Each structure stands twice: as structure tokens, then as C-alpha cells.
Structure 1
Amino acid sequence: MSPIKTLVIVEDDPLIAMDIRERCENAGYLVLAVTGSVAQAEREFADHCPDAIVTDMDLGPGGSGCEIVEAIRERCPDIKVVFVTGTTDPMKLERIATTKPEAVLSKPLPPHRLEDALQALG
């Protein structure tokens, strides 16, 4: 397993997206894009396969993180997936589980939790 180096962030809240980006970059990862919807993310993935995706579940009117994970895995079957979500809804958590993510982290993120999860990916 080669270490992950590149990732895309899908988060509809700009402040949370900025925090996630900063954490990832400070940990040494190259953030290829930050998007806030399924449609934006699909455009970002059109030409390349990042090593990982960090996504929220609820993207407001922009869809769900599960939708983008399923779409990207059609083109990039080896992509690693980390959900960062504030949901506690059992049905949504079950839906997340169907995508077989490498990690599911709860918001708010404690210090170093995201970084530790990314490091565990490889």
C-alpha cells in the first residue's frame, strides 16, 4: 500500500472546509480541490484520481457525500474515503457504512483526529 499524498475535500460549509484544508496541508497532504457539492466534486474528479477524499455526508442542496463516493469509486476504485460528519441520524450513518469508508469522524473534530485518520490510511 502506497502512502496517500493527494486528496479532495467535499464540504459545503466554507469555514469547516477551510479548517479541514489547513489541517491536511499542515500534515503534508496536497489538497487538489475543495468543493461544496456533488456536481463540483464530479467535475474535479473528471481528469484525475486523488489518493483520498474527505467528505461530509450532508451537503445541503448539493447532495450527499455518499453520492460522490459512489460516483468517484466507479472511476477510482482504490480511492480512500474519510467521512467527517455531524450527523447522528442512524439511517444516515447506516448509509455511510454502505460506502465502506476507511474512517468516519464526528464533528466537531478534536485536534489531530483527522490527521491521525489520514495517516492510518497509508
Structure 2
Amino acid sequence: MSVSLSEEIAPLLPYLRRYARALAGSQKSGDAYVRACLQALVADQTIIDTSHGVKIGLYRLFHVLWNASVVPPTAHDGTVSIFEQTAQQRLATMAAESRQTLLLSTLEGFSLPETALIIERSEEEVTQLVQDAIAEIDRQTKTDVLIIEDEPLISMDLIQIVESLGHGVTSVARTASDAIAAAKAQAPGLVLADIQLADGSSGIDAVKDILAEMSVPVIFITSFPERLLTGERPEPTFLITKPFNPNTVKAGISQALFFKGVEEVAAA
């Protein structure tokens, strides 16, 4: 890539990785697709159409490569999480393009016209694809959610969002210790976590301790996504930036539960 194109693409990569991970259901698989996209660009810069801006061009190129299955799904080698093991099973129940459209228009914040450009569909088709995705995900089994958040107003918003989707809230924790205790008292089916908590403790540390005891999908909701999207491991598969759009949180919850283990969903 030329220096100028590289410079324009570099700040977009953390968010492209976020999109790829949410789409694939794992950091490993998502990052593999992003690497393939970059390798294709290095080989031939003319494959990216920047007439509508570099960001739209980059996501459009990624969309083409994803649909072409340039990178094979991650093999189950005994170390793959329960979320990845069930991803392909659940993908079979939903058109991939519907999920792509939902993520682009909510998690990534593209407008309806921009999403239509990226997936090369009409705006009417994009609207229908989003509706189809939401309808399919809503058929997933409901679960209980642990919220780790120290701001009361934000906690209230998250509770309302969670309950509007038909889920329940097990607890709202303001500190890492409270979150760990709440998870031990009642195992959640999903965790929504901030990274900076009331007593100076870390939501990241709380999540690490919780995941050491149980397998549960986690969505980080933070004002500082760059602290988590560093390109280093481990990084979250699901990450939402504050201030958030309620529809973005709803889409994130739906995506996280989409990849949740079948056995865990049934038990939640």
C-alpha cells in the first residue's frame, strides 16, 4: 500500500477487527479475515474503491473477501471455545448477509446509504435484511445478564435495554469484587462490563476472574475502546463505545448470544 493509503487505513483497523470478530464470533477467526484483507491490498491497491471514502472502501473490500470465503473457518482443535464450536450451527439458521447488515448499521454505525454501498444492495433491501436479522436473533433463548457498571444512569439504561429484549438482570455490580461475588452467587448467561469502576477497580480484572470460573459471553461497554483494541491478545470479541446508541447495545447482545453455547443457552 502507498504511504498515504496506509496512513488512512491504520486508524480504521481496530474497528474493522471489532467488526470481523463480531461477525466471525472469535478474535482468531476475525483477525484472520482482516489479515487477508490487508494482504490483498498490499498485493493490489486497485482492488479498493475509495470513491465514497477510504472507510467505506475498506469495509466493502472486507465484505467481498468474507463472502468469497478467502479464509477458512477456524478448525476445532480442542482449544476452541464453546462459542466458536456452535457458531457454524447457528450461522446456518441465518443468512450471513443479514448479520453483516445488522452489524454494519448498528455496531459500526454506518448509515443506511453507506451500508447499502458496502454490501452492494438497495436501501430497501438493507432495511429488510436488518429486520430479518433481528427477527432471527430474537428467536434465540433468553438469558440472565450481569451488568458491571458504576454509573447509575447508565446502569438504568442498560437494565431497560436488557429487559426490553426479554432478558433478565441478575445483578448490577459497581466494583470488581461485587461483580465476582454476583457471578458466583448466580451464574449469568451474559456479562455487560465497563472497564473503569467506582472504587478504581477494573472491569477487565473482574471479567478475567469470572471467566476463570465459567464460560460466558462478555460485552465490554467503555468510553475508551482504544485501551482494549490494541492488536494485542487478549482482546474482546464484543466491544461497544460510550456514549452508546441503544440499538447498538441490542445488536451487541443479540450477536453475543448468537455465539453462545447451545448447552449454556438452554441452562440459562
Q: What TM-score range do you get, normalising by the shorter chain? A: 0.7 to 0.9
User: Which one of the candidate residues 236, 244, 247 is aligned to 1:112?
Assistant: 247
Structure 1 match to 2:146? 8
* Paired amino acid for 2:221: V
- Report the TM-score when normalising by structure 2: 0.41
Q: Relative to structure 1, is the Cα distance of residues 84 and 70 closer, same or farther in structure 2, using a 3 angstrom cutoff?
A: same
Higher relative contact order (CA 8 A, sep 6+): 1
- Give the aligned residue type for 2:206: I
Q: Deviations 1:71-96 (Å, cap 9, x if unpaired)?
A: 001111x20000000115x4x2247x
Residue equivalent to 2:218? 81
1:51 matched residue in structure 2: 189
Aligned-residue Cα RMSD (Å) equals: 2.0
Indicate the structure (1 or 2) with the bigger Cα radius of gyration. 2
Looking at structure 1, the residues matched to 169 and 234 of structure 2 have their Cα atoms a distance apart, in angstroms, of 22
Gaps of at least 5 residues in structure 1 are none
Question: Would you say the 8 A contact 2:170–2:186 is kept in 1?
Answer: no
Identify which of 19, 40, 52 aligns with 2:157: 19
Give the strand-richer structure, 1 or 2.
1
**Mapped contact 2:228–2:235 kept (Cα < 8 A):** no
Tell me if structure 1 keeps the 8 A contact 2:228–2:236: no
Report the 3-state secondary structure (helix = DSSP H, G, I; strand = E; otherwise coil) of the residue aligned with 1:112: helix
Q: How many residues align?
A: 118
SS in 2 for 1:46: helix
Q: Any unmatched runs of 5+ in structure 2?
A: 1-85, 87-139, 259-268
Q: Percent identity?
A: 25
Structure 1 length normalisation: TM-score?
A: 0.85
Richer in helix (by share) = 2
